[in-house]
Amino acid sequence: MRRITVWIRPHVQLLDVTGPIEVWSTASQVLEGRGRRPGYEVRTVAPGGGAVRTSAGLTLMPDGGSEGRVATAREADTLVVPGSFGDPMTPCEPALLRVLERWPGRVASVCAGAFRLAQAGRLSGRRATTHWLFTERLGQEFPDIDVEPDALWVRDGDAWTSAGVSAGIDLALAMVEADHGRAIAIEVARLLVLHMKRPGGQSQFSAVLAAQKAEQAPLRELLVWMHDHPHEDLRVPVLARRVAMSPRHFARVFTRETGSTPAAVVRRLRLAAARRMLEEDGRASLAQVAERSGHGTLESLRRAFVRHLGVAPGAYRDRFATAT
C-alpha cells in the first residue's frame, strides 16, 4: 500500500491535482479487481486545512492541514507538490519548505511544483523537468539541477518531476508501473481512455501545439503536414515552396513563429514519429521505422536515438512498446 499526500495551495492547477489522483484511484480499483489489496491511499493537505480555490475557480476541500502529521513516514511515503501558472519563484510556503526538507520518502512535482522541490534542495544534483514555459528559468535559478527541457517526466532516485498539467497523469502512471508493474499501468491507461502510457523521455514539443502558436495560416497548415509526412523531403527549399516563400524568408518566419529553426523541428518531428512507431507497431522492422520516420537509414535512426535519448532504437522498443 502506497500512502500519498498531495499538498495543495491557492491557485493550484486543478488538473495537476485531480489527474494524478484519478490514476492512483483507478490503479487501486484494478488491483482490487485482481484480488489484490488497494495500491494507494491518497489524502490532500493544505496549510491550515481550509478550502483552497484553484486556478479554474473551483474549490477543493483538503483532508487536513497538520504539518506534523504529513511530515511522518507513517502517514505517507510519497509527497506530491502540484504547481500553478503564477510566478514559479514565489517563495515556498514555510510549512511546505519544512516538510520537504525532512521528508523521508519520495517526492514528486507537477508543472511548476518543481520550483518548490528545488527551493527545498530536493533536486540538487539531480535531473528534473517542469513545464516548458519554465524550464529555462529553472535551470537559471538552480544551476545545480540538470534540467531536461523536453521530458514529460523525470525520475532521479526518490525525486520525480513532470512537465505541465496533463503530464502529471504520465508521472502518476509511471509511478504505478514502478510500484505494481507494467501490466497494471497499461490497464489503468486503458480504463482512463488514454491513448497510450507515454514514456518520460517523450518530448513536450508537439507540431500541433507549434501550429496553434503560429499566426500565419499557411505555416500552421505546413506544420501539421510535416507532422503527418515525416518521410517526405523536408529541406528548407522544399518547405519554402509549399508556402510560396523564398528559402531565406521562410527560415526567418518559421523560426520567429515557432521558436525553433526548420532543421530543429524536422529532427524532433522525425524522432517523435520513430518513437511512436516503436511504441505502437511491433511488426515494423527497425529499417522500416527508419524509412517511414524520415531518417532514411538504420544507422541514422540509431544515431538520432543515442544522441537525443541515450538509448538504441531496439532497446527503446523493448522498454516502451505498448503491450500487455
Query: Which residues on neighbouring strands pair with residue 109, listed in sequence order?
Result: 81, 161
In sequence order, which residues have a C-beta less than 8 Å from that of residue 37 and are 6 or more positions away?
Answer: 1, 31
**Average pLDDT in the 258-273 region?**
88
* Residue whose grid cell is 501490466: 183
Q: Which of 38, 51, 52 is nearest to 9 (CA)?
A: 52
**How many C-beta neighbours within 10 Å does residue 32 have?**
12
Residue 301 is placed in which grid cell? 535512426
pLDDT at position 168:
94
What average pLDDT is seen over the chain?
A: 87
- For the chain, give percent helix, strand, coil, nearest 5: 50, 10, 40
Q: Does 152 have pLDDT greater than 90?
A: no
Q: What is the pLDDT of residues 191-227, one digit of tens each?
A: 998 754 455 555 555 555 555 556 677 888 898 899 8
**How many C-beta neighbours within 10 Å does residue 232 have?**
13
Cβ(73)–Cβ(30) below 8 Å? no
Range ranked top by mean pLDDT from 116-125, 211-220, 255-264: 116-125
Q: Does 66 have pLDDT greater than 70?
A: no
SS3 128: strand
DSSP 195: S
**Average pLDDT in the 137-149 region?**
92
Residue 162 pLDDT class (50, 70, 90 cuts): very high
Q: Does 53 have pLDDT greater than 60?
A: yes
Q: What is the pLDDT of residues 266-276, one digit of tens each?
A: 998 898 889 88
Cβ(163)–Cβ(132) below 8 Å? yes
Q: Does 323 have pLDDT greater than 50?
A: no
Residue 293 pLDDT class (50, 70, 90 cuts): very high
**Average pLDDT in the 131-154 region?**
89
Residue 280 pLDDT class (50, 70, 90 cuts): confident
Residue 87 pLDDT class (50, 70, 90 cuts): confident
* Separation between Cα atoms, residue 274 and residue 276, nearest integer Å: 5
Question: Euclidean distance between the first and final Cα of the chain, in Å?
Answer: 23
Residue 324 pLDDT class (50, 70, 90 cuts): very low
pLDDT at position 214:
62
Q: Which of 271, 268, 270 is nearest to 316 (CA)?
A: 271
Q: Does 316 have pLDDT greater than 70?
A: yes
* Separation between Cα atoms, residue 15 and residue 168, nearest integer Å: 8
**Average pLDDT in the 300-323 region?**
81
pLDDT at position 204:
56
Q: Does 253 have pLDDT greater than 80?
A: yes
Q: Among the listed ranges 64-73, 102-111, 197-206, 281-290, which one has the minimum average pLDDT value?
A: 197-206
Residue 132 pLDDT class (50, 70, 90 cuts): confident
For the purposes of burial, counting CB atoms within 10 Å of the CB of 153, is it exposed (0-12), middle (13-18) or buried (19 or more)?
Answer: buried
Q: Does 44 have pLDDT greater than 70?
A: yes
